[in-house]
Amino acid sequence: MLGYIYETEMEAVSARTQAAAHMGLPNPTGDTLYWVNYDYSGLDNIYYIQYTDGLELVLGEPSEFEITRP
């Protein structure tokens, strides 16, 4: 997967907030709160955000990593 890895949920929430602010979210007239969301891989004990086009403008260059799925 291409994206961003975080050791704590607080770091992932902060990154999500930065990305939302960059896109002008949350939208007060709509229901869109975030541009991207984070996930947690319990087997790998990491939080992560999957890369989407343009996210590098906010969070920097993404890295390639693997997560373990049950």
pLDDT at 59: 97
Q: What is the pLDDT of residue 29?
A: 78
52: helix, strand or coil: coil
Q: How far apart are CA 13 and CA 41, in angstroms?
A: 15
What is the three-state SS of 5-39? EECCHHHHHHHHHHHHHHCCCCCCCCCCCCCCCCE
The sign of the dihedral angle between the CA atoms of 43, 47, 50, 56 is: negative
Structure tokens at 63: 């890295």
For residue 3, name the pLDDT band (cuts at 50, 70, 90): very high
pLDDT at 27 over 90: no
pLDDT tens digits, one per residue of 29-54: 778 888 899 999 999 999 999 999 99
Q: Check residues 67 and 26 and name the one with the higher pLDDT.
A: 67
